[in-house]
Chains A and B, each alone.
Chain A
Amino acid sequence: MKQIEYVIQAETGMHARPAGMLVSTAGKFSSIIKVSCKGRQADARKLFALMKLGAKQNDCIQITADGPDEEEAAAALQETLKAYF
């Protein structure tokens, strides 16, 4: 299992669009990918669930990838976070 932590830089937090980017990246891998924030967890493939986390600027999110391609998934997710969060 791979884990990433990231502090959201974007002023507007994890709203619909960046969440969509995350879903799109997560969808390319077969690993189970979960996103947690403030004690709540969401499936990274479910846009509404991600949006409901209500992650704001300066909130820390943890992403875990568990599966055969967890390494590649973690790297790609890291890129998505940097670009949109």
Chain B
Amino acid sequence: MMRIEKILNNNVAVSRTDDGKEIIVMGRGLAFRRRIGDGIPENLVEKVFSLQSSEITEKLQKLASEIPLEHILIAEEIIAYAEKTYCKKLYDGIHISLADHISTAIDRQHKELSLKNPLRWDIKRFYPEENAIGVQALDIIQKKAGIRLDDDEAAFIAMHFVNAEMNQNMSQIVSMTRIMNEILEIIKQEPGIEMDENSINYFRFITHLKFFAQRILEAKTKDDDARDLYDLVKQKYSRVLPLTEKVASYLLERYTYIMDLSEKTYFTLHLQRIMKHTTICIASPLDGTLVPITEVKDEAFSKKMMGEGVAILPDTGKVFAPADGEVDTFCDTFHAVGIHTGTGVDVLIHIGRDTVKLGGKYFTPHIKEGDKVKKGQLLIEFDMKAIKEAGYDITTPVTVVNTAEFSAVYISQGSKVHTGDTILTVEGK
């Protein structure tokens, strides 16, 4: 039988296990009219605390003498629920912080004071499991204490669980959440990127972000050399990497945090996974008639060595930008132009066959290498009649030269096309 070593109040006593470990025993009236050395009747014991650190044991003893037993037991029921339902591994500090918090929150509610939680929606978004625990906690509190706390309280309780999982203090959680928000905002602003917030990968990304934010706050860098993996990611996910770089430069400016190669690598991998299979439309740069790429009389194109695509037999001698982007490469003979779209597709427009031999004659450029262009902007004019008379085939292939970086390129069907009509639909990986 457990014996009383110290009485904190009628409901709480300190005792010791058979192997000499200090424990705190709670139950209504278990120390009432008893003295040090007396046995504790087992039927009165509602909760036994056996904590790892003596510091926490001391804190709990202090708390137990200050707040009602009921509040400690409510906190314990919530903690047990979290451990059982979500298999949470929690630091012992939660026994103190949650009980203390619930007690204050109940007092506040009695005084009809409520505290707004500015992070309520972020908590719900970033920590869905902890938020669910918080919601369940409101039910437990209502059942046990007969009082319904505000929904904002669910988020506060959730924050205690986030804390207990990461062994952090509250202000750190607030900073972490802010950083996570800032990073997500940067990502969301990126055109062509859509996140599937209900996917398991999104949840994983958020978890990654949580620990990443923690590392930022602690200014921790991993010093493992991730050069090889980074190079691989750089090559494979060239579409996502610029976004990682954007986040990195933001973090550098705002927090003087240097995002190292291994952080960049893992961030990019996560980012890649959360992206929906985006589709990117490439518009016709010309008015004319569609010709299957396999019928182009140039095997570099017909055998798709220049990537998947379609050709156009032009009706007019004007070439317009097929999408928003940048003039990545522009031959000094003006017969071919490579546009890198803002969405990562490299589109080659090759006006006619063998027209490189014209050395620029009959072509009028309206852009230069490096120019930013808008979809539908005039790029090049060419004298269709003169080129044909010089003996050239003017069939103009439009191809996605980095086809391998995408999961599919779909070719629009039909015959006549106008500038701006979608001719290719590129599906992201």
**Interfacial residues, chain A to chain B (CB-CB below 8 A):** 11-12, 15-17, 20-21, 23-24, 27, 46-49, 51-52, 54
Q: Verify A21–B305 contact, CB threshold 8 A.
A: yes
**Which residues of A sit under 8 angstroms from B350, Cβ to Cβ?**
16-17
Is B200 in contact with chain A by the CB < 8 A criterion?
Answer: no
Q: Which chain A residue has the least Cβ–Cβ distance from B304?
A: A24
**Which residues of A sit under 8 angstroms from B331, Cβ to Cβ?**
15-16, 51
Question: Which B residues between 324 and 362 are near A, CB-CB below 8 angstroms?
Answer: 328-329, 331-333, 336, 338, 340, 346, 348, 350, 356-357
A51 to B356, CA, bound (A): 13
Interchain CB contact (< 8 A) of B329 among A11, A17, A27, A51: A51
Is B298 in contact with chain A by the CB < 8 A criterion?
Answer: yes
A52 to B300, CA, bound (A): 19
30 contacts between A and B (CB under 8 A): A11-B357, A12-B333, A12-B356, A15-B333, A16-B300, A16-B306, A16-B331, A16-B336, A16-B348, A17-B306, A17-B350, A17-B356, A20-B300, A20-B306, A20-B401, A21-B300, A21-B305, A23-B305, A23-B401, A24-B305, A47-B346, A48-B328, A48-B329, A48-B338, A48-B346, A48-B348, A48-B401, A49-B329, A51-B329, A51-B331
Q: Which chain B residue has the least Cβ–Cβ distance from A27?
A: B404
A6 to chain B, nearest CB (A): 19
Q: Which chain A residue has the least Cβ–Cβ distance from B333?
A: A15
Q: Verify A47–B306 contact, CB threshold 8 A.
A: yes
Size bracket, chain B contacts: 20 to 34
**Which residues of B sit under 8 angstroms from A48, Cβ to Cβ?**
328-329, 338, 340, 346, 348, 401
A6 to B150, CA, bound (A): 76
Q: Verify A52–B305 contact, CB threshold 8 A.
A: no
Interchain CB contact (< 8 A) of B401 among A11, A12, A47: A47
Is B245 in contact with chain A by the CB < 8 A criterion?
Answer: no
B294 to chain A, nearest CB (A): 15
Q: Verify A47–B348 contact, CB threshold 8 A.
A: yes
A49 to B348, CA, bound (A): 12
Q: Determine which residue in A12, A51, A52 has the highest number of CB atoms from chain B within 10 A of its CB, and name it.
A: A51
B402 to chain A, nearest CB (A): 8
Q: Verify B336–A15 contact, CB threshold 8 A.
A: yes
A23 to B338, CA, bound (A): 15
Q: Verify A52–B369 contact, CB threshold 8 A.
A: yes
**Which residues of B sit under 8 angstroms from A24, Cβ to Cβ?**
305
Q: Which chain B residue has the least Cβ–Cβ distance from A13?
A: B356
Q: Which chain A residue has the least Cβ–Cβ distance from B349?
A: A16
Q: Which chain A residue has the least Cβ–Cβ distance from B340?
A: A48
Question: Which B residues between 251 and 284 are near A, CB-CB below 8 angstroms?
Answer: none
A24 to B299, CA, bound (A): 12
Closest 7 pairs between A and B when the two form their complex, measured CB to CB: A24-B305, A47-B401, A20-B306, A51-B329, A48-B338, A12-B356, A48-B329
Q: Verify B338–A51 contact, CB threshold 8 A.
A: yes
B408 to chain A, nearest CB (A): 18
A24 to chain B, nearest CB (A): 4
A15 to B350, CA, bound (A): 11
A20 to B301, CA, bound (A): 9
A84 to B349, CA, bound (A): 20
A4 to B338, CA, bound (A): 27
Q: Verify A54–B332 contact, CB threshold 8 A.
A: yes
**Which residues of A sit under 8 angstroms from B404, Cβ to Cβ?**
27
**Which residues of A sit under 8 angstroms from B346, Cβ to Cβ?**
47-48
**Which residues of A sit under 8 angstroms from B401, Cβ to Cβ?**
20, 23, 47-48
Q: Verify B356–A47 contact, CB threshold 8 A.
A: no
**Which residues of A sit under 8 angstroms from B369, Cβ to Cβ?**
52
**Which residues of A sit under 8 angstroms from B298, Cβ to Cβ?**
17
**Which residues of A sit under 8 angstroms from B329, Cβ to Cβ?**
48-49, 51-52
Instruction: Write out, one digit per residue, whether chain B residues 36-75 have a CB within 8 A of any chain A CB (1) or not (0).
Output: 0000000000000000000000000000000000000000
